[in-house]
A and B are shown apart, each in its own frame.
Chain A
Amino acid sequence: MNPGIYRPSLQIATPPQGLLGRPAVVTMPLGFVHPEAQDWAIRATANGGVVSSTVLTAVSDFCRAIDAAGIRDRFLRLNLFCGGNLSGALVPLYRSASTAANPIGSATDVNANFVSGDYAETGVNAGIKGNGGGKYLQTGLVASANLVATNVHLAVFLASPQTTSFNYPEIIGCKSLTPATSCEMLTATTSSSTPAYFGSGASSVSSSTFNPSGFLVGSCVNQQDARFFINGKQDSPTFASTVNVMALPALQFYIFALNQANASQIGHNGRASAYSIGYGMTPLQVLEYHTALAAFRLALGRA
C-alpha cells in the first residue's frame, strides 16, 4: 500500500516515544496524502498541471471523506477540475470504482475547444465555463460498456447556470438514435417546458426547479426509483418507471454537451467545477457526496 507523502507540517506536537530501552523520540507523520490523491497529483503534473499543496490537501481530504462515507464504489469517473491550469484540470481523480479495478475511459478528458481563459481553479468563478456552442469534454467512458440503466448516477456542480434561453442545454450525456436511448442530464430555462432532467434507459425524472445551479445529481437505483437532487436534497418526485428497460447507448459520455451518435449537440454555457459518472446513489449517499464536495469547495475558496 502506498503510505502517501510525508508532510513535516503535519507532525504531531508530542510524538510517541520508544517502548524499549531509553525512551527516544520517534518522529511520526500524522497526516498522509491519500494514495488516490497522490496518484492524481502525479498524473495531473505529467499532463502539464501544477498541483499546489493546498489543492493536494483538499483533494486528499475529499478522498478520505468519500471513503469514510462508504461511497467510493459509486464512482466510475470523477473530476474536480483542479490542477493549476486547464491541462491539469483535464485529469480525473477517479477512473474506476476502486483502486483495484482497471481504469476505464480516457486517461484525461479530451478537451474540445476550451481554452485556458475558460478555466479558473479557485474562487467563486472556479471551474470550466461552457459556451453553449461547441465546447465540450470527451470522457471515453462508454455508457453501455460500464453501466446499466437501472443503476446509474450523473452529477455535476454548476457554479453558474445556463444563461441563454434555448431548449434543453445538456450538461452530461450520450444518446443513440437507433435504438433510441439515452443517458443524460440537462437543464432548461424558464422558456422551456421541462426543467432540469435526468434520464436513463430505465426511467427519467425532472426537477421542480428550472435552470438550477449548484450540485445537481440524477440517480437511478432501480427501475422503481429515479430521483433528481439539488445541493443534496431531493428536488423531484421519486419516479417509478413502467416502461421496458432499455440498454444504455454504446457511446461515450460528453460533458457540457450531448454526444448524439458521436456528434456533439446542444451545448451548455454554465460553469461547472466538478462532475461524476457512476452507479446509482441513495438519498443518504447523495447527501454524503454533497457534504464531501462542499468541504472541498470551501478549501479551494470555491464556496
Chain B
Amino acid sequence: MLLREFALPVADAEAKGYALVFSPALAARLAELHGQYGTPNCVPMPSILANGKLMLSADILTEVMPGGLLAAMWAAADQATVGKDVEVIAWADAVAMLPAREGI
C-alpha cells in the first residue's frame, strides 16, 4: 500500500501497526523541510533497513494534523509526491529488516 491510500487522520493505536518506507532521496527532502518548519520536539529520523531503504513508524502521521508537532512541516510538503513515494508496510515486517546486534 502507498501512503496516498492510507486514510488520514489515523488513530495512534492503528498507526503503530505500520511503518513508512521510503528512499534516502525523499528522506533528504523531508529533513530539509524539517529544518525549515520543524522543532526539536519531534524530529523524523528514519532507521536504515537491510534493503537500504529508510523507515519510520507510521504513528509519526499522528503529528501531521493541525496542532501536531509536524503540522507546519507537513503543510509545506508536496503531499502528492510524498503520498506516492512512501510505502506503508506492517510494522513487524519492518522491524524484521532492522540490523541486529551480535554481541556486546
Q: Which of A's residues lie within 8 Å of B, judged by CB?
A: 47-48, 86-87, 90, 106, 108, 110-118, 131-136, 164, 166-168, 186, 194, 197, 199, 204, 258, 263-266
Contacts and interface: CB of A to CB of B under 8 A. Distances in A.
B51 interface: no
Contacts of B46: 134
Contact of B104 (A47, A135, A168, A265): A168
A111 B43 contact: yes
A135 B63 CA distance: 14
Contacts of A204: 104
Nearest to B44: A113
Given A87-B69, A115-B12, A167-B101, A133 B43 contact: no
B95 A132 contact: yes
A113 B57 contact: yes
Nearest to B54: A134
A75 B46 CA distance: 31
Contacts of B73: none
Contacts, number: 87
A206 to B, nearest CB: 9
Range for the number of chain B residues in contact with chain A: 20 to 34
B62 A116 contact: yes
A255 to B, nearest CB: 14
Interface in B1-52: 12-13, 16, 19, 40-48
17 contacts: A90-B40, A106-B40, A110-B40, A112-B44, A113-B43, A113-B44, A113-B45, A113-B57, A114-B42, A132-B95, A133-B95, A134-B45, A135-B57, A167-B100, A167-B101, A204-B104, A264-B47
Given A132-B95, A133-B57, A265-B101, A116 B43 contact: no
A114 B59 CA distance: 9
A111 B101 contact: no
Contacts of B98: 133-134
Contacts of A113: 42-45, 56-57, 60
A174 B95 CA distance: 21
Contact of A117 (B12, B44, B100): B12
B86 interface: no
B101 A110 contact: no
A247 B87 CA distance: 43
Q: Which 9 A-B pairs have the closest CB atoms?
A: A117-B12, A134-B47, A112-B45, A87-B41, A110-B40, A168-B101, A266-B101, A133-B95, A115-B59
A111 B42 contact: yes
A231 B97 CA distance: 35
Contacts of B104: 168, 186, 194, 197, 199, 204
B94 interface: yes
Contacts of A266: 101
A115 B60 contact: yes
A112 B103 CA distance: 25
B41 A86 contact: yes
A113 B41 CA distance: 9
B41 A115 contact: no
A117 B41 contact: no
Interface string B72-84: 0000000000000
A194 B104 CA distance: 9
Contacts of A164: 95
A164 B101 CA distance: 14
A281 to B, nearest CB: 22
Contact of A115 (B19, B45, B62, B99): B62
Given A112-B45, A167-B102, 20 more contacts: A110-B43, A111-B42, A111-B43, A113-B42, A113-B57, A115-B42, A115-B69, A116-B12, A116-B62, A116-B69, A117-B13, A117-B59, A118-B59, A133-B47, A134-B57, A168-B103, A168-B104, A258-B101, A264-B45, A265-B101
